Every structure is written in structure tokens, then in C-alpha cells.
Amino acid sequence: MAKMVSDFVIPILGGYECEVGLDALDDASVIGDLVLKSDSHAVQPIFFPGGDIGRLAVAGTVNDIAVLGAQPLALACGLILEEGLAFEDLRRVLTSVRSACEEADVSVITGDTKVVEKECLGGLVINMSGIGRGDEALEHNIKIARQYRKTLDTKWILDKNLREGDKIILSGTVGDHGVAIMSTQENIGLRNEVRSDVKPLNHMIGKILKVGGIVSMKDPTRGGLANSLNEWREKSHVGIQIQESHIPIRNDVRAACEILGIDPLEVGNEGKVIIGVVKEQAEEVLEELRSTDEGREAEIIGEATGEFNLVTMKTIVGGKRIITTPIGDPVPRIC
Ligand code: MG
């Protein structure tokens, strides 16, 4: 998918000069003072443990706007419905969109509905677009970061801002969403049902911006932690070193991954962020995160290094493993 985007989409649609454009392939774009994001959701099944396609669509777009340091202003919802979708299911999904919007303090203010023949959509697909704007919390955050890094030349939190010495914080357990979807798709009865972590995180992010010093932030969705860390590595030209013992993973998620033969670091999440923060502010940001419900299991999992341009993990048994960009998706139609 990444290669398809860089080989086909960017050469044709890219090239427009704005603060953060399509070519940056960041979580969202910036034009003037506005952050803009569009995200399509084709998850299967549309209802899964811990959430549904409606909640996922709101959280996905809100989180991509929030990780640049912005607060969402409004959403646009495009529905593509398949003939035969039960009205009751549509009602359930829209009610879920509404309640996730209330959680994030944002509203759907425009949209579009299309109906297509019964093919292979699996019920419905949702495109959720959104705009956001930076507020005083983002300004404060960048001001604090600049106290320690005079060379920081942007007012946004971007994938390319990570530098040697920055600490990397993970806001909670990884793998929950992907395992919840996969166990439903494959109809694997796990003893304890794993629930998706899908959640809008803009309020949690707003709190840590008030502490300040955050330079990069990302929601490790498709491709999981492994993919997100490698995107940072590539765009920031740093090495990244993480410690396996510091990565929070639920025991049932770890067990399910072992049974299914997948790596929890490559599985998508929908309610977590990784945060790159100047080292002087790392403990304070961690403490603030842990005071929130969504971030109570947060950990400092590693740091950016100047050594070599790789993501490496010190394993629990004392070895070293290179974490590469995942090839293909272990779980199809996860988001
Ligand atoms: Mg993202």
C-alpha cells in the first residue's frame, strides 16, 4: 500500500506547496492555520468487540488531526451504503458516530450518502473527513520544546521532528484492536474476549500539550508500532531504540498473537499514540498521561539515537532485534 501511494498517488496528485502537504505523508495536512484530514473506513465486520465502523470513523479522523497538535473543529461524513443493509444496522452505526462525536466534542456538519449495488462492501463504507485548528496548548507545547531545541522550525507536531536523545512514550497496550477484529473475522473463540481500543484521543492529547515539549506524535494504526516507528525513522533520519520489556501488551493479546502467528508490534491500534518528546520533559509528560484514563498504562519505551538508521529492540532475553516495516497486513480490513 505504501509503495502504491508513493509510486502512483504522490507523483500525480502531490507537489502542492503548503506547510504540510500530501508529499509529507504525515497523519494529516496543514494549510494556513487549518489541519485537514480524510480517512476512509472499510472494517469487516462493521460491528466488533469494543466498537463499530461508526466509532472507528470518528476516532480515526479525530486522532489523525490531534496528533499534529490540533483540536478538531468539524467533520464531514460520506456514507456508501450497500443495497440490502438493514436500517437497524445503519441506525446503530449513526448513533455510534453521534456518541463518539460527543466524546470528542466535535460534530458532523456536512456529508453525502450514496447507495451501490450489492457487491463486496460488506454493508457500508464510511469516509470521514475533518478540519482542526491549533490552540494555545499547541503554542505552549512548541514554546517549551524550543527551550530545549532552538532549531525546531515548525509550529506543528510532525513525523520529521524527532532528534537524537528524544524519548519515545507509548500511551498504552498495543495489539488490542487488530486482535479484536481478527478473532471476529476468523471466528476464533478466545477465552477472554479482546476488545478494540478504538477511542478519540484529542482530550488526552490536549492535556499533555499543556505540559509541553512534544515534537512528534502518531497513532500506530495500520502496520502497528513497527510501521509507525519506521515512518519516524525515515522522515526524521534517526535511529530508534526500544526495549521490549517496556512495551505494554495484554497477556490475552500476546497469547492470541502467538496462536495466530502474528507480531503484536505489527497489529493496528485505534486508541493509542506514540509520542516523541524532548528528554527533559519526558517524565512530566508521562506523569500527565498516566493521570488520564486512556493513558494510565503509558510507558517510555525507548529513544531516538544517532547511531544507525534502524529501529532496534532490546529483547527481554537480552538480544537485539531489528524491527522492520511490516510487509503486507497481518489483518485485512482492520480499519
Ligand atoms: Mg495516523
pLDDT of residue 35: 97
Using the mean position of ligand 1's atoms as its centre, give its distance from the Cα of residue 274 in Å: 10
Mean pLDDT in residue range 176-181: 94
Q: Looking at the predicted structure, is the pLDDT value of residue 184 above 80? A: yes
Residues in the chain: 335
Using the mean position of ligand 1's atoms as its centre, give its distance from the Cα of residue 69 in Å: 12
pLDDT of residue 190: 67
Higher pLDDT, 52 or 335: 52
* pLDDT tens-digit readout, 247-305: 999 999 999 999 888 999 999 999 999 999 999 999 999 999 999 999 999 999 999 99
**Residue 41 pairs with which residues in a beta bridge?**
126
The angle at the Cα of 311, spanning 61 to 143, to the nearest 5 degrees, equals: 55
Higher pLDDT, 190 or 179: 179
Mean pLDDT in residue range 184-204: 86
Q: To the nearest whole number, what is the mean pLDDT of the chain?
A: 95
Using the mean position of ligand 1's atoms as its centre, give its distance from the Cα of residue 79 in Å: 21
Ion ligand 1 residues within 5 Å by Cβ: 27, 64, 219
Using the mean position of ligand 1's atoms as its centre, give its distance from the Cα of residue 221 in Å: 6
Q: Looking at the predicted structure, is the pLDDT value of residue 330 above 90? A: no
Using the mean position of ligand 1's atoms as its centre, give its distance from the Cα of residue 117 in Å: 31
CB distance 56 to 212 below 8 Å? no
Write down all domains in the chain, each with its CATH number in brackets.
Answer: 2-134 (3.30.1330.10), 137-322 (3.90.650.10)
Using the mean position of ligand 1's atoms as its centre, give its distance from the Cα of residue 269 in Å: 10
Mean pLDDT in residue range 198-224: 97
* pLDDT tens-digit readout, 23-75: 999 999 999 999 999 999 999 999 999 999 999 999 999 999 999 999 999 99
Q: Looking at the predicted structure, is the pLDDT value of residue 316 above 90? A: yes
Comparing 104-113, 142-151, 256-265, the range with the smallest average pLDDT is 256-265
Q: Looking at the predicted structure, is the pLDDT value of residue 151 above 80? A: yes
Q: Which is nearest to 309 in space by CA: 220, 231, 245? A: 231
CB distance 201 to 273 below 8 Å? yes
SS (H, E, C) the chain: CHHHHHHHHHHHHCCCCCCECHHHCCCCEEECCEEEEEEEECCCCCEECCEEHHHHHHHHHHHHHHCCCEEEEEEEEEEEEECCCCHHHHHHHHHHHHHHHHHHCCCEEEEEEEEECCCCCCCEEEEEEEEEEECHHHHHHHHHHHHHCCCCCCCCCCHHHCCCCCEEEECCCCCHHHHHHHHHHCCCCCCCCCCCCCCCCHHHHHHHHHHCCEEEEECCCCCHHHHHHHHHHHHHCCEEEEEHHHCCCCHHHHHHHHHHCCCHHHCCCCCCCEEEECHHHHHHHHHHHHCCCCCCCCEEEEEEECCCCCEEEECCCCCEEECCCCCCCCCCCCC
Q: What percent of the chain has pLDDT over 90?
A: 87
pLDDT of residue 191: 64
Using the mean position of ligand 1's atoms as its centre, give its distance from the Cα of residue 118 in Å: 30
Using the mean position of ligand 1's atoms as its centre, give its distance from the Cα of residue 256 in Å: 25
